[in-house]
Chains A and B, each alone.
Chain A
Amino acid sequence: MDVSASVSTSASVSASVEAVFREERGRLLAALARRFGDLDLAEEVTSEAIEAALTHWPVDGVPPRPGAWLMTTARRRAVDRLRRDRTYAARLALLQAEADLAAPPPTVDGDLPDERLRLFFTCAHPALPTEDHAALTLRCLAGLTTPEVARAFLVPTATMAKRIVRAKTKIREARIPFRVPEPHELPSRLPSVLQAIYSVFTEGYAASSGPDLQRLDLAEEAVRLARVLRRLLPTQREVAGLLALLLLVHARRDARTGHHGDLVLLADQDRTRWDRPMIDEGRDLVIEALRGGPPGPYGVQAAIAALHDEADDVAGTDWPQVVALYDVLHALTPGPVVALNRAAAVAMRDGPQAGLALLDALADEPRLRGYPPLPAARADLLAQLDRLDEAEHAYTEALELAGTEPERAHLRRRLTAVRSAPGRRSRT
């Protein structure tokens, strides 16, 4: 842990101190949750220990082993609380906790042990509601407060607080363990951890509603979490695949919105504004994700993103390869959204008519009902085929469904373009 540099100067650096502690908070929380089996207690004493550090360290100097200091302080507070609270004492075996306190703190060279992997798996445990996995992960591993988590998912704070309290109660009362699954359990347990991080990213990258198209702080938080997970599970290829995918998409962030926050499609993006070092990092990870075994869905999606990132423009994109990868992805994770994306790639490879035929086959798919990209993609292809009346109708449909203002603005522009296209039949 390298907090000493940040803390030793003055109170004016407290913002950066808090940033440093965000990393440590997760570690401390994980270690304490494991020790006491109680997330609430762990959260409370983690906060108290960090507060104590923020009070004492600027005055007294940073202790030689900051991690051990934080851990000892937190554990002492926890035992105090257990002594005060009889129900806790009964439940959590006070004696054991006290004996534990007498033992030397479990730190490595003054650094906190990294037990966050356990916490990742607990937050995304299948016994907890899927929609709470990402929220708990943000709360416990990214150190976001409940109001911040609520903002991330655009729900009222009270609603999010209720969900988090309910989940934590279940973790405690049903005794969901803080443990890393055995290797044979990983195939069934790892996907929900990856999904939790991915849904933080997608919420940041394409906010499902609201005035802003992108909320980069959330996307960056997801990238950070994926990096942590990658360090903790270096041999899991799908973890490499997830991090690769996030990097390869996030690399386009600056080109994705125009001057007024308007949506710029992949086809129209200024590719010189893409983050090349990030793309290079992502491409190296794709190779790792796809090597040495059958590909997983994140690895394949990352490979598709890499093909886009490598191309100079849309025409120069290797569309046959993109379609082939979508075929692989569809075999791994069959679903209408994958089929929709595949259809768009087929349109690029074989022309709009071929893509449209595939999209029309999806028209009755119940899971795509109300999904704006479907009518938007149809509208684009219809416009290319000069079927302008139908294109207008489809853009209108997409516009009614679109969740964010930049998406709506984009669709309105397309609609206007179709309406005023030369050779357009005059309307009365």
Chain B
Amino acid sequence: MKYMLLINAGAVDENGGAAECTVEDWMLYDKQVRDAGILVSGESLADLVTATTVRVDRNGAPTVTDGPFAETREVLGGFYVIDVPDLDVALDWAARCPGARGSGSVVVRPVATFGD
């Protein structure tokens, strides 16, 4: 079963990194996910100031706007998709993720499957 771990960054320090974990923490975690053979995909996202939003109105006309800006404390900073037997295993991987520490959080969502 595939689960997406949505990593919400918490507070960031002056270097733009998360306050509660180091680059080494992330590298170690990434290696563990890969070594466990459960990785489907995973990316970390560039800073929110680079984000652009597209909407298409009823007439099919697109509008492009800068943002969104961080209105809430939590901003999606990256994700993993992992393939594991059940939710407990996914929750365990989420708990080990450096992004879950301190003011950060990881939301675990099953990837929808559609029957044949």
Contact = CB atoms under 8 A, between A and B. Distances in A.
Interface of A: 86-87, 90-91, 127, 173-177, 179, 181
Interface in B61-116: 85-88, 91, 110, 113, 115-116
B48 interface: no
Closest 5 CB pairs of A and B: A177-B86, A90-B115, A87-B115, A175-B86, A174-B110
Nearest to A181: B88
Contacts, number: 27
B1 interface: yes
A133 to B, nearest CB: 16
Counting chain B residues whose Cβ lies within 8 A of the other chain, the interface size class is 10 to 19
Given A127-B87, A127-B91, A175 B116 contact: no
Interface of B: 1, 85-88, 91, 110, 113, 115-116
Contacts of B88: 176-177, 179, 181
Contacts of A91: 113, 115
Nearest to A86: B115
Given A90-B115, A91-B115, 17 more contacts: A86-B115, A86-B116, A87-B115, A91-B113, A127-B87, A127-B91, A173-B110, A174-B87, A175-B85, A175-B86, A175-B87, A176-B86, A176-B87, A177-B85, A177-B87, A179-B88, A181-B88
Contacts of A174: 87, 110
Contacts of A176: 86-88
24 contacts: A86-B115, A86-B116, A90-B115, A90-B116, A91-B113, A91-B115, A127-B87, A127-B91, A173-B110, A174-B110, A175-B1, A175-B85, A175-B86, A175-B87, A175-B110, A176-B87, A176-B88, A177-B85, A177-B86, A177-B87, A177-B88, A179-B86, A179-B88, A181-B88
Contacts of B110: 173-175
Counting chain A CB atoms within 10 Å of each CB, the highest count among B86, B88, B91, B113 belongs to: B88
B1 to A, nearest CB: 5
A181 B113 CA distance: 27
A373 B86 CA distance: 44
A91 B1 CA distance: 11
A177 B87 CA distance: 7
Nearest to A90: B115
B3 to A, nearest CB: 8
Contacts of A173: 110
A168 to B, nearest CB: 14
Nearest to A121: B88
Nearest to B112: A173
Contacts of B86: 175-177, 179
Nearest to A87: B115
A240 B86 CA distance: 31
Contacts of B85: 175, 177
Contacts of A175: 1, 85-87, 110
Nearest to A177: B86
A181 B91 CA distance: 13
Nearest to A89: B115
Counting chain B CB atoms within 10 Å of each CB, the highest count among A86, A91, A174 belongs to: A174
A86 B114 CA distance: 12
A176 B1 CA distance: 11
Nearest to B86: A177
Contacts of A90: 115-116
A389 to B, nearest CB: 49
